[in-house]
Structure 1
Amino acid sequence: MTGATALRALHRFGIALLAIGLAGAAPGGFAPHVQAAETVNPDVVDRTTLRVCADPGNLPYSNDKGEGFENKIAEIIAEELDVPIAYTWFPQTIGFVRRTLGEKRCDLIIGVAATNELMQNTNPYYNSTYVMVYRAGADLTGSLGDPALKGMRIGVQPRTPVASLIARHGLLGHMKSYPLVVDTRREKPVRQMVSDVSSDKLDVALVWGPLAGYWVREIDPSLKMVPVAPEAGTRLSYLMSMGIRYNEPDWKHALNRILRKRKDDIAAVLTAYNVPMLDRKGKLIEVAAQPRDKPASPAPKEKPAAKGVAEPDGYRVEDYRAPVPAKLTGARTVDAEGLLGLMKAEDVALIDVFPAARKPEGRGDDQLWREPKRATIKGAHWLANMGFGKLHADEDAAFKAELLRLSEDGKRTLAFFCEPECWMSWNAAKRAISYGFDKVVWFPGGVSEWNEAGELLEEMRPWRPHDPK
């Protein structure tokens, strides 16, 4: 494998991993060029814990506080497997694969380029690309042949694909260089690039999309992003997958099933982090950066009734991610605009019932267990799992008691949601009506619609029935 080939195959996280070091570090169990038949060795994955290999300080991907989008995606995988997460932390640099996945300290790397040859890849779950970040009004096309760039200050990281295009178009004299390989715990070059564009120290930054989108969201959502136009001989977009060891077919198939089943939830996570994503035709999927403040919203607006699934007599008890009815008898059904208006007109308690993995039975207090976290509507209460069709008697009683507390004995309106096509929110709202609450709202669009409307989210951990108040 040549240095250039390895660089293209291993490019990830918005930095180019040092090709020679990684290729030389590949342990004997990896076969970068020739993969052995998958049936030769049995799976060695620990099925009682999701063991994830990750960088402890590499936002927006991951950190040891669980704040990155790969942390959130890991939580989705763990939820489907109904197991806790255990991390093996190692800086995303030379030796990362060898010292983590290769030494079997962990079983999964959440995000790797699908062309990575040091490990087996799952099916890809998103496609991103390099983008131009610039201030509103510049109206850049994305092409490095754009004459407007001749008079601009351009931020670039060397040894990235866009750096070679800068040279090709004779723009080296306009380039300001930012370091590529750094200690991510101490330096954030892309954050600095985006900040410099915002403060008019740069006119445009050429950056790997997931990094650009996150720092635009965090620093200045008014900044614009446009994909860098592709050119012959230079690859700018990469399909991203998960990385596992070779010869683990069952593990690969299990992950691929989860990626298919939870693709909408994973996309919602990426959208919440403002990751620029391409569709199957290579076109940008529009993703708006989340503003920190929004103007006043109009009066409450109920979601219009539409033809669809009929309301069942009882609760939905299976296949919770499926088309839902257009309404819930006894409740007001609203969209994001309607919920915003309602929150201005009434005192509303927001109730998220998205499911969360429970601590496995028999796991002692001395054993590692980290409660999952979720980005939900700002100010909401995450009453996880209370939307299942069947609740244990103690869960049912605890849920009712918690709703009484949150509603202040029925004085406040209760608004239930989770995600689009999520029967759990419908079940939970119906259950609240059965308890006797008469101020019940159902928001079927859930967190994804709220995020698409540009409204604020915040991370939280789930309420559990046994939580002390």
Structure 2
Amino acid sequence: MIRRPVLLLAAALCVAAGSSARAAEGIPTDALRVCADANLLPFSNDRGEGFENRIAQLIANDLKVPLTFTWWPQTIGFVRNTLRTRQCDLVMGTAVGEELMQNTNPYYRSTYALIYRKDSGITAKSLADPSLQGARIGVVARTPPSSVMLRHGLTNMEPYQLDTDTRVHHPAQQAVEDVAAARTDAAVVWGPIAAYFADRQTVPMVVVPLTDEPGATPFEYMISMGLRPDEPDWRHWLNEFIVRRQGDIDRILADYHVPLVNADGTIRAAAAQPPAARSETMEPDGYRMDGYRAPVPATLRGAETVVPAEVERLAKAGAVLIDVLPTPPKPAGLSADSRWVPPPHLSLPGAHWLPNVGYGALSADQEAYFRTNLEALTGGDRKRPLVVFCQPDCWMSWNAAKRAVAWGYQAVNWFPAGTEGWKAAGHDLVTVDPEPRAAN
């Protein structure tokens, strides 16, 4: 029986083919249909909370097509029953060299990781560390760490089953939870799983990404997307996408604390956000209608999601910066005849403030104000880049950017970090006034 790296690494997403139209060999033009495991975090689940869900959304946004999912357990027969039967066109999360599929260029390189409780007395930074001798160490059977552990005399293993039905059992996750509960002393599992679930335990955990040892079975694997061998155009498009959106992919991986390995084998410094800052919110079909200050999705269909450095580049290239933060309400308790002067509004240099246009439903006056100003600020050029923002966790900027896309603007950029993210990146804010309303 073939033990595919895609199973060993427990990661798979597929873009379904079915009756999908094609602009070229394999490239979807009507929908990005993704085959994925409905219960396999941190990779994917049916609530869109995995990093492969989010990377798939990036691809769909780039193709400007909707994203849908077909769920299939990630176990033996996954490729045979999905990609080979043309129910899907793409597997995301396969090790480079997978023989059942053609690979794209790799989009990340990760490694297995050692995990243990911070209070365990273990201080290991590799499997050769003496503090591991005699420790009860969990490992998924027949995965690469098993042979390396034996090489270092680590024979007190707690084995976990490799091939399971992920609808009911998650051995690598269980290995992490057993360490947290002190049922075992340590575990060695695939790094993305180790980091994700260690971060969710109630006790402090240590995660040590492992580097390859000379003459031993490797810990590190380059991860690519897999597709059928007869679709060179689709592979070319995906390779170009990976190059162009590598920064966005890396930011998603960092959100999940995925251990990343550089080409020279060194471990890349972690750059993940704290857990409270992560966004696992999926895009709604329509506009957000209430609760505007809440976690936002990582993406916006039809628009690019940008960070401060990209905003700076776009601004220098002539993009129109649109601040949609609403005007502050009059403080409660002031009498009707009290004069109130709102505080100055700070925004990005050169930004145009269009307050109150980010609500889920706009009045006729608000819509006319937004449309008229967009038309004037772009000179009627629907291809001129826009950067839409307000503050972090602000659905109003998401709504406003989505509305601009719906109105036919073709280069909409959404800046979810907003003014606070701009300031945190070391840039100055300036006072701006609202754009005037047209005279009646």
Cα RMSD, aligned residues only? 4.0
The amino acid across from 1:103 in the alignment is: T
Q: CA deviation at 1:224?
A: 1.3
8 A contact 2:111–2:220 mirrored in 1: yes
Matching of residue 261 in structure 1 with residue 244 in structure 2 = yes
The amino acid across from 1:381 in the alignment is: W
Residue 79 of structure 2 corresponds to 97
Matching of residue 249 in structure 1 with residue 229 in structure 2 = no
Alignment of 1:310-459 (within 5 A): 315-316=319-320, 331-332=346-347, 379-381=393-395, 383-384=397-398, 386=400, 391=404, 416=418, 433-435=433-435
Question: Structure 2: how far apart are the matches of 1:310 and 1:61?
Answer: 32
Question: Structure 2: how far apart are the matches of 1:286 and 1:95?
Answer: 36
8 A contact 2:107–2:242 mirrored in 1: yes
8 A contact 1:221–1:291 mirrored in 2: no
Matching of residue 147 in structure 1 with residue 135 in structure 2 = no
8 A contact 1:15–1:180 mirrored in 2: no
Q: CA deviation at 1:51?
A: 2.1
| Secondary structure in 1 matching 2:254 | helix
Query: For the structure 1 residues 253 and 243, does the alpha-carbon distance in structure 2 shift closer, same or farther, using more than 3 Å as the test?
Result: same
Question: Structure 2: how far apart are the matches of 1:179 and 1:126?
Answer: 26
Query: For the structure 1 residues 250 and 211, does the alpha-carbon distance in structure 2 shift closer, same or farther, using more than 3 Å as the test?
Result: same
Query: For the structure 1 residues 395 and 87, does the alpha-carbon distance in structure 2 shift closer, same or farther, using more than 3 Å as the test?
Result: closer
Residue from 33, 43, 57 that aligns with 1:51:
33
Q: CA deviation at 1:101?
A: 0.9
Matching of residue 239 in structure 1 with residue 239 in structure 2 = no
Residue from 53, 62, 72 that aligns with 1:80:
62
Q: CA deviation at 1:234?
A: 0.4
8 A contact 2:74–2:165 mirrored in 1: no
Residue from 22, 47, 67 that aligns with 1:65:
47
Q: Deviations over 1:277-296 (max 9, x none)?
A: 111211112226765579xx
Query: For the structure 1 residues 309 and 91, does the alpha-carbon distance in structure 2 shift closer, same or farther, using more than 3 Å as the test?
Result: closer
Residue from 187, 191, 196 that aligns with 1:209:
191
Q: CA deviation at 1:380?
A: 3.4
Q: Deviations over 1:135-163 (max 9, x none)?
A: 22546343322211113221111111111
Residue 157 of structure 1 corresponds to 140
Residue from 159, 162, 182 that aligns with 1:200:
182
Residue 134 of structure 1 corresponds to 116
Q: CA deviation at 1:120?
A: 0.8
8 A contact 2:162–2:171 mirrored in 1: yes
Query: For the structure 1 residues 213 and 142, does the alpha-carbon distance in structure 2 shift closer, same or farther, using more than 3 Å as the test?
Result: same
Residue 207 of structure 2 corresponds to 225
Residue from 3, 19, 32 that aligns with 1:7:
3
8 A contact 2:348–2:422 mirrored in 1: no
Q: TM-score, normalised by structure 1?
A: 0.59
| Secondary structure in 1 matching 2:3 | helix
8 A contact 1:9–1:117 mirrored in 2: no
Q: CA deviation at 1:228?
A: 2.5
Paired-residue identity, %: 40
More moved, 130-139 vs 247-256: 130-139
The amino acid across from 2:395 in the alignment is: H
Q: TM-score, normalised by structure 2?
A: 0.63
Q: Which runs of 5+ in 2 are unaligned?
A: 13-23, 278-311, 322-343, 350-355, 359-390, 410-415
Count of paired positions: 320
